[in-house]
């Protein structure tokens, strides 16, 4: 176990260096000059432009800039935003809870609905319910996320007026963030209706972000379940005279969950990607929206720092999933 | 009164190519504490008929029977819910592949106590004590430690012992063993067979042994039912069957035993059991039968009387010679 942990963490080091290099290069490959963008429409004199370029260090060769960036990263310094002059790490930490809250809710939706849907489709294999569930899952998987989000906003928020269009909480409420998670903070604030408002704001983004993972989880559960239901040990369980609920819900599902857990873990990486779109559409103040805005402004240090932090989090999540695998699959003991 | 009565059991499977009849009018009766063997090669419907009895066939199977009675209970009219109270308790089954028949995600102890919990209840401690007792009974060393083991940590033979422990947990009246030793190596095969025979004696349960190994039959069983292509073709006491097989198929199976072979070459039975598309019009065994004549290819076989081992044959053998050649009126049979 300890040995495996060391090996896996050791493997993360080259991945980490690769991530710093890619995040550094990606933003510089984009056309556009951060200094000119900062100047806005009025532009600036050549002399001032050169001075700013020198101030930010952009007049030096790339390799020098990269080494300096890497040196900073190793000391825990990701630089500061050109626009706000706030350290990147600090901005990230303020915004990250919003993304985590949204992603967790989306993942919760995907598992709580996706796993039962997959199980039901598997035991009703080939019948109407199976085709219906899997057809819906395919539609959910293939649908463009932005279109789905806009449709939901138009119908649910616009026509029915059931949910707010954007943001994390109504402007009526204001309190200092404690945990950064709106659901918890709104409860802690003790303000009447704050929690309800936070929930209402979460509903549509959760559905939009959760749709693809939901479809993936449902389809994966169905196929894992179908495979497991044909196994000898399921027949043994039935030969014991157990109820169908116990045979499917305990003996079969326990085995089917092994591949499903891996899928859920992999989906977490996908969620961070999906969050960019969802957060932008719903004006959700998370890291997705933050990244998009920083790319538009060519805020180099924010983009490279943000990408790097996301990469690290995905790596850590994957490591945790691998370790969890040993808990749910008795055949793997580290 | 017999413990198990099966009359005219038929099982059909819905396949993409149409109905496939896996079991065709099989009758069987087993007494309390009796050891019955069902033999036949792969595809002869041995396992399917027993799975039908246990209610373990998939929904694509249609089961019909004139009578399906176990311990005075009519299984035909019984609901699935009531059937579950019987199977795993009074009627239990073990399978061919011990390595895949146990759930890899649960400990041995969980899987044994689960059977006890379902049918007998009792406290956690009594169930655990019974599980230890059962593992002792099936000859697994260090039972207390084994309770926490997962199936992949045990060998095939040990897993089959665990399967047996699960099956006999509730002291069943009938244990069905579906080729319990096929997947094990030879030394272990003998141990497991001995264990089953021993347990049958100790627990006083009836045992149905499904096998394709005539050697095993000779050593263990009291009565034998021979199945071919879903039909029961012969049923006799073991000693009589080995002395004087009445159905040509039984005779062919026996002469393929190395112990009984005469001459240098081991006699074989060419061909395979007919499937969905090559089902013969007349007697199902006719295409492979050494004694078949015109009638066999045209008309379905008829069942002979008890003196000929209920052989499903137009010309049952007596001492290896077809009876029709002994002067039975062939012409009469054709006309009737």
A104 Cβ partners below 8 Å, 6+ apart? none
pLDDT-based confidence at residue B41 (cuts at 50, 70, 90): confident
Interface of A with B in 243-272 (CB under 8 A): 243, 251, 254-255, 258
Among B103, B119, B167, select the one facing A233 at the smallest CB separation: B103
Contact status, residue A145 vs residue A277, Cβ threshold 8 Å: yes
Note whether B14 contacts A: Cβ–Cβ < 8 A: no
Backbone angles phi, psi at A58, to 5 degrees: -80, -5
Q: Nearest-CA distance from B218 to chain A in Å? A: 28
> Domains in chain B: how many in total?
1
What chain A holds in terms of domains, given with CATH numbers, is 94-166+202-297 (1.10.3720.10)
Among B127, B134, B186, B130, smallest CA distance to B156 is for B186
Task: Report percent pLDDT > 90 for chain A.
Answer: 49
Residue A171 CB neighbours (<10 A): 8
* Mean pLDDT computed over A26-53: 82
Contact B85 A241 (CB under 8 A): yes
pLDDT-based confidence at residue B324 (cuts at 50, 70, 90): low
Cα–Cα distance measured from residue B107 to residue B95, given in angstroms and rounded to the nearest whole number? 19
Q: Given 3-state DSSP classes, what are the helix, strand and coil percentages for chain B, each rounded to the nearest 5?
A: 40, 20, 40
Residue A13 CB neighbours (<10 A): 9
pLDDT one-digit tens code per residue, B147-196 = 999 999 999 999 999 999 999 999 999 999 999 988 888 888 889 999 99
Q: Nearest-CA distance from A249 to chain B in Å? A: 13
- In-domain check, residue B185: no
Cα–Cα distance measured from residue B100 to residue B121, given in angstroms and rounded to the nearest whole number? 27
Cα–Cα distance measured from residue A15 to residue B85, given in angstroms and rounded to the nearest whole number? 57
Task: Please report the pLDDT score of residue B137 as a whole number.
Answer: 92
Give residue B327's domain range: 278-335
- Whole-Å CA distances, A246 to A18, A67, A96, A249, B323: 48, 59, 41, 5, 55
Mutate one of A130, A240, A248 to test the B interface: name it (highest B CB count within 10 A): A240
Cα–Cα distance measured from residue A27 to residue B104, given in angstroms and rounded to the nearest whole number? 49
- In-domain check, residue B294: yes
Q: Nearest-CA distance from B244 to chain A in Å? A: 37
Note whether A239 contacts B: Cβ–Cβ < 8 A: yes
Residue A177, Ramachandran bin (φ over 0: left; ψ between -120 and 50: alpha; else beta): beta
Residue B329 has pLDDT above 60, yes or no: no
pLDDT-based confidence at residue B334 (cuts at 50, 70, 90): very low
**DSSP string across B163-197:** HHHHHHTT--SEEEEESTTTTS-HHHHHHHHHHHH
Note whether B101 contacts A: Cβ–Cβ < 8 A: yes
Residue A320 has pLDDT above 80, yes or no: yes
Task: Please report the pLDDT score of residue A270 as a whole number.
Answer: 74
Could you tell me the end-to-end alpha-carbon distance of chain B, in angstroms, rounded to an integer?
Answer: 37
pLDDT-based confidence at residue A333 (cuts at 50, 70, 90): low
**DSSP string across A26-83:** HHHHSSS-HHHHHHGGG---HHHHHHHHHHHTTTS-HHHHHHHHHHHHHTT---B-TT
Among A231, A238, A331, select the one facing B56 at the smallest CB separation: A238
Cα–Cα distance measured from residue B261 to residue B255, given in angstroms and rounded to the nearest whole number? 6
Residue A7 buriedness (CB in 10 A; 0-12 / 13-18 / 19+): exposed
Task: Report percent pLDDT > 90 for chain B.
Answer: 57
Which residues in chain A are contacts of B84 at CB distance < 8 A?
A: 241-243
Among A242, A328, A329, select the one facing B118 at the smallest CB separation: A242
Contact A241 B97 (CB under 8 A): no
Which residues in chain B are contacts of A239 at CB distance < 8 A?
A: 54, 56, 87-88, 92-93, 167
Among B92, B100, B103, select the one facing A239 at the smallest CB separation: B92
Task: Say which residue, A222 or B45, is predicted with more confidence.
Answer: A222
**Which residue from A minimizes the CA distance to B51?**
A239
Contact status, residue A239 vs residue B54, Cβ threshold 8 Å: yes
Between strands B4-15 and B206-211, the pairing is unpaired
Task: Please report the pLDDT score of residue A59 as a whole number.
Answer: 84
Note whether B106 contacts A: Cβ–Cβ < 8 A: yes
- Whole-Å CA distances, A184 to A102, A164, A180, B69, B93: 13, 19, 8, 63, 54
**Which residue from B minimizes the CA distance to A255?**
B105
Among B201, B170, B185, B279, smallest CA distance to B35 is for B201
Q: Nearest-CA distance from A293 to chain B in Å? A: 48
**Residues forming a β-bridge with B231:** B228
- In-domain check, residue B306: yes
Mutate one of A239, A249, A259 to test the B interface: name it (highest B CB count within 10 A): A239
What was the ipTM of the complex prediction? 0.88
**Which residue from A minimizes the CA distance to B165?**
A240
User: For chain B, how big is the Rg over CA atoms in Å?
Assistant: 21
Give the side-chain half-sphere CA count within 13 A for B133: 12
Note whether B156 contacts A: Cβ–Cβ < 8 A: no
Between strands B231-237 and B223-228, the pairing is antiparallel
Contact A241 B119 (CB under 8 A): yes
User: For chain A, how big is the Rg over CA atoms in Å?
Assistant: 24
Residue A51 has pLDDT above 80, yes or no: yes
Contact B103 A255 (CB under 8 A): yes
Lowest-confidence pick of A30-34, A201-205, B185-189, B206-210 = A30-34
pLDDT-based confidence at residue A316 (cuts at 50, 70, 90): confident
Among B55, B108, B111, B110, smallest CA distance to B86 is for B55
Note whether B54 contacts A: Cβ–Cβ < 8 A: yes
How much is the mean pLDDT over chain A?
Answer: 89
Secondary structure class of B90 (helix, strand, coil): coil
């Amino acid at each position: 176990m300890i040995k495996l942990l060391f090996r896996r963490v050791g493997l993360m080091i080259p991945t980490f260096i690769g991530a710093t290099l890619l995040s550094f290069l990606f933003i510089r490959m984009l056309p556009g000059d951060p200094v000119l963008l900062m100047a806005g429409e009025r532009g600036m004199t050549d002399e001032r432009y050169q001075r700013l370029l020198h101030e930010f260090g952009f007049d030096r060769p790339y390799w020098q800039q990269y080494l300096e960036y890497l040196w900073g990263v190793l000391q825990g310094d990701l630089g500061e935003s050109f626009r706000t002059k706030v350290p990147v790490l600090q901005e990230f930490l303020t915004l990250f809870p919003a993304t985590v809250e949204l992603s967790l809710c989306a993942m919760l939706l995907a598992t709580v609905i996706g796993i039962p849907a997959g199980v039901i489709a598997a035991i009703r294999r080939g019948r109407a319910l199976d085709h219906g569930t899997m057809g819906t899952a395919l539609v959910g998987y293939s649908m463009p996320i932005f279109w789905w989000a806009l449709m939901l906003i138009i119908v649910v928020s616009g026509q029915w007026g059931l949910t707010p269009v954007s943001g994390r909480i109504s402007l009526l409420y204001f309190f200092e963030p404690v945990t950064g998670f709106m659901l918890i903070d709104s409860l802690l604030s003790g303000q009447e209706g704050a929690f309800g408002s936070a929930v209402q704001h979460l509903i549509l983004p959760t559905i939009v972000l959760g749709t693809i993972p939901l479809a993936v989880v449902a389809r994966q559960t169905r196929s894992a379940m179908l495979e497991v239901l044909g196994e000898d040990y399921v027949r043994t369980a039935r030969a014991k005279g157990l109820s169908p609920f116990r045979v499917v819900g305990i003996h079969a599902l326990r085995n089917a969950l092994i591949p499903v857990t891996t899928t859920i873990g992999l989906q977490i990486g996908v969620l961070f990607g999906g969050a960019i779109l969802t957060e932008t559409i719903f004006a959700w103040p998370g890291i997705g929206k933050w990244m998009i805005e920083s790319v538009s402004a060519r805020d180099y240090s924010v983009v490279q720092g943000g990408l790097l932090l996301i990469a690290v989090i995905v790596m850590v999540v994957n490591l945790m999933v691998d370790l969890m695998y040993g808990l749910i699959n008795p055949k793997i003991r580290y | 009164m017999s413990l198990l009565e099966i009359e005219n059991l038929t099982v059909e499977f819905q396949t993409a190519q149409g109905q496939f009849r896996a079991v065709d009018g099989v009758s069987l009766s087993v007494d309390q504490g009796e050891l019955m063997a069902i033999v036949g090669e792969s595809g002869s419907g041995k396992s399917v008929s027993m799975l039908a009895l246990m209610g373990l066939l998939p929904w694509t199977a249609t089961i019909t029977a004139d009578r399906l009675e176990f311990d005075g209970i009519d299984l035909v009219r019984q609901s699935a819910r009531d059937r579950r109270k019987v199977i795993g308790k009074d009627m239990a089954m073990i399978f061919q592949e011990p390595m895949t028949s146990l759930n890899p995600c649960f400990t041995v102890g969980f899987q044994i106590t689960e059977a006890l919990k379902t049918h007998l209840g009792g406290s956690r401690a009594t169930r655990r004590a019974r599980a230890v007792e059962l593992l002792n009974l099936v000859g697994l060393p260090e039972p207390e430690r084994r309770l926490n083991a997962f199936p992949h940590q045990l060998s095939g033979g040990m897993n089959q012992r665990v399967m047996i422990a699960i099956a006999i947990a509730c002291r069943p009246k009938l244990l069905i063993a579906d080729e319990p030793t096929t997947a094990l190596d030879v030394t272990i095969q003998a141990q497991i067979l001995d264990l089953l025979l021993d347990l049958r004696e100790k627990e006083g349960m009836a045992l149905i042994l499904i096998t394709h190994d005539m050697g095993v039959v000779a050593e263990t069983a009291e009565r034998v039912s021979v199945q071919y292509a879903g039909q029961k073709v012969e049923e006799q006491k073991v000693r009589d069957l080995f002395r004087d097989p009445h159905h040509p198929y039984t005779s062919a199976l026996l002469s393929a035993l190395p112990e009984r072979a005469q001459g240098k070459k081991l006699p074989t039975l060419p061909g395979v059991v007919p499937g969905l598309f090559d089902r013969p019009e007349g007697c199902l065994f006719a295409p492979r039968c050494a004694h078949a004549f015109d009638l066999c290819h045209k008309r379905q076989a008829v069942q002979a009387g008890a003196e000929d081992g209920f052989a499903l044959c137009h010309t049952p053998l007596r001492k290896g010679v077809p009876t029709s050649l002994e002067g039975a009126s062939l012409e009469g049979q054709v006309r009737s």
